[in-house]
Chain A
Amino acid sequence: MTPQPAHNIIISPIGDVTPDLLDPIRGEIKRIYGYPTEVLALLDDIEFAFHPNRNQYHSTPVLEQLARNAPADAIKVLAIVEVDLFIPILTHVYGEAQLGGKACIVSTVRLNEGHSYLNTQEPFLSRIVKEAIHELGHTFKLRHCREHTCLMHYCRDESDVDRKSDQLCRYCRVLLEDEIKRMQKL
Chain B
Amino acid sequence: MSKIKILIVDDELIMRESLAGWLERDGHAVQTAASGEEALEKVKESQFDIFLVDIKMEGMSGLDVLRSVKESDPDADVVMITAYGSIPSAIEAMKDGAYDYMLKPFDPNELGVLIEKIIQHQEQARENIYLKEQYKERTRFESMIGQSAPMQKIFNLICDVAPMDSTVLITGETGTGKGLAAKAIHTNSSHRNGPFVTVNCGAIPEHLMETELFGHQKGAFTDAKETKKGRLELAHGGTLFLDEIGEISMRMQIDLLRVLEDRVFYRVGGTQPIEADFRVIAATNRNLEQAIKAGAFREDLFYRLNVISFQMPSLIQHKEDIPLLAEHFLYRFAQEMNKVADKISREAMDEMMLYDWPGNIRELENAIERAVVVGKQREILPEDLPIFCHEPTALKRGNSLKEVEKAHILQVLTDNKWNIARCAKILGIDRSTLYSKIKRYNINKVA
Contact segment of A74-82, A88-96, A113-121: A88-96
| B98-127 to A contact mask, C-beta < 8 Å, 1/0 | 000000111111011100000000000000
**Residue B226, interface by CB 8 Å:** no
| B9-49 to A contact mask, C-beta < 8 Å, 1/0 | 00010110111011011110000000000000000000000
Q: In the bound complex, how far is the Cα of B28 from the Cα of A99, in angstroms?
A: 13
Contact check, A87 vs B112: say whether CB atoms are below 8 A apart. Answer: no
Given A143-B25, A143-B27: A89 touches B112 (CB 8 Å cut-off): no
Q: In the bound complex, how far is the Cα of B108 from the Cα of A51, in angstroms?
A: 19
Contact check, A157 vs B109: say whether CB atoms are below 8 A apart. Answer: yes
Given A93-B108, A154-B112, A156-B112: A88 touches B26 (CB 8 Å cut-off): no
Contact check, A144 vs B18: say whether CB atoms are below 8 A apart. Answer: no
**Residue A86, interface by CB 8 Å:** yes
Contact check, B106 vs A91: say whether CB atoms are below 8 A apart. Answer: yes
**Residue A102, interface by CB 8 Å:** no
Which of A86, A93, A96, A154 has its CB near the most chain B CB atoms (within 10 A)? A154
| Cβ-closest chain A residue relative to B26 | A144
In the assembled complex, the CB of A133 is this many whole angstroms from the nearest CB of chain B, namely 15
Contact check, A86 vs B105: say whether CB atoms are below 8 A apart. Answer: yes
Which chain A residues border B111 with CB–CB below 8 Å? 90
Q: In the bound complex, how far is the Cα of B19 from the Cα of A93, in angstroms?
A: 12
**Residue A108, interface by CB 8 Å:** no
- What is the total of A-B residue contacts with beta carbons within 8 Å? 55
Q: In the bound complex, how far is the Cα of B107 from the Cα of A14, in angstroms?
A: 25
Q: In the bound complex, how far is the Cα of B109 from the Cα of A90, in angstroms?
A: 9
Which chain B residues border A130 with CB–CB below 8 Å? none
Contact check, B15 vs A89: say whether CB atoms are below 8 A apart. Answer: yes
Q: Which of A57-97 contact B (CB under 8 A)?
A: 60, 86-93, 96-97
In the assembled complex, the CB of A151 is this many whole angstroms from the nearest CB of chain B, namely 14
Contact check, A88 vs B18: say whether CB atoms are below 8 A apart. Answer: yes
Q: Which of B204-237 contact A (CB under 8 A)?
A: none
**Residue A138, interface by CB 8 Å:** yes
| Cβ-closest chain A residue relative to B111 | A90
Given A86-B105, A143-B27: A99 touches B21 (CB 8 Å cut-off): yes
Q: In the bound complex, how far is the Cα of B25 from the Cα of A138, in angstroms?
A: 8
Contact check, A143 vs B26: say whether CB atoms are below 8 A apart. Answer: yes
Which chain B residues border A99 with CB–CB below 8 Å? 21, 24-25
Given A156-B109, A156-B112, A157-B109: A89 touches B25 (CB 8 Å cut-off): no
- Contact for A90 among B12, B17, B107, CB less than 8 A: B107
Contact check, B109 vs A89: say whether CB atoms are below 8 A apart. Answer: no
Contact check, A88 vs B25: say whether CB atoms are below 8 A apart. Answer: no
Q: In the bound complex, how far is the Cα of B86 from the Cα of A148, in angstroms?
A: 37
| A137-175 to B contact mask, C-beta < 8 Å, 1/0 | 010000110000000001011000000000000000000
Which of A60, A86, A91, A156 has its CB near the most chain B CB atoms (within 10 A)? A91
Contact check, A88 vs B27: say whether CB atoms are below 8 A apart. Answer: no
| Cβ-closest chain B residue relative to A97 | B25
Q: In the bound complex, how far is the Cα of B26 from the Cα of A157, in angstroms?
A: 16
In the assembled complex, the CB of A95 is this many whole angstroms from the nearest CB of chain B, namely 11
Query: Size band of the A side of the interface?
Result: 10 to 19
Contact check, B18 vs A60: say whether CB atoms are below 8 A apart. Answer: yes
In the assembled complex, the CB of A41 is this many whole angstroms from the nearest CB of chain B, namely 26
Q: Which of B109-159 contact A (CB under 8 A)?
A: 109, 111-113
Given A60-B18, A87-B18: A92 touches B25 (CB 8 Å cut-off): no
Contact check, B106 vs A144: say whether CB atoms are below 8 A apart. Answer: no
Given A60-B18, A87-B18, A154-B112: A144 touches B107 (CB 8 Å cut-off): no
Contact check, A91 vs B26: say whether CB atoms are below 8 A apart. Answer: no
Which chain A residues border B25 with CB–CB below 8 Å? 97, 99, 138, 143-144, 154
Contact check, A89 vs B104: say whether CB atoms are below 8 A apart. Answer: yes
Which chain B residues border A154 with CB–CB below 8 Å? 25-26, 112
| Cβ-closest chain A residue relative to B24 | A99
Which chain A residues border B19 with CB–CB below 8 Å? 89
Contact check, B105 vs A89: say whether CB atoms are below 8 A apart. Answer: yes
Q: In the bound complex, how far is the Cα of B24 from the Cα of A99, in angstroms?
A: 8
| Cβ-closest chain A residue relative to B20 | A89
In the assembled complex, the CB of B6 is this many whole angstroms from the nearest CB of chain A, namely 13
Which of B12, B17, B18, B19 has its CB near the most chain A CB atoms (within 10 A)? B18
Q: In the bound complex, how far is the Cα of B108 from the Cα of A74, in angstroms?
A: 31
Q: In the bound complex, how far is the Cα of B22 from the Cα of A143, in angstroms?
A: 10
Contact check, B24 vs A91: say whether CB atoms are below 8 A apart. Answer: no
In the assembled complex, the CB of A109 is this many whole angstroms from the nearest CB of chain B, namely 14
| Cβ-closest chain A residue relative to B109 | A156
Q: In the bound complex, how far is the Cα of B106 from the Cα of A64, in angstroms?
A: 23
| Cβ-closest chain A residue relative to B103 | A91
Given A143-B27, A144-B27: A92 touches B21 (CB 8 Å cut-off): no
Which chain A residues border B12 with CB–CB below 8 Å? 88
| A98-128 to B contact mask, C-beta < 8 Å, 1/0 | 0100000000000000000000000000000
Which chain B residues border A86 with CB–CB below 8 Å? 105
In the assembled complex, the CB of A176 is this many whole angstroms from the nearest CB of chain B, namely 15
Q: List 10 A-B contacts (CB under 8 A).
A: A89-B15, A89-B104, A90-B108, A91-B106, A91-B108, A144-B25, A154-B25, A154-B26, A156-B108, A156-B112
Query: Top 10 nearest A-B pairs by Cβ distance?
Result: A87-B18, A156-B109, A143-B27, A89-B19, A89-B18, A90-B108, A88-B18, A88-B14, A144-B26, A91-B105
Residues of chain B whose beta carbon lies under 8 Å from any beta carbon of chain A: 12, 14-15, 17-19, 21-22, 24-27, 81, 104-109, 111-113
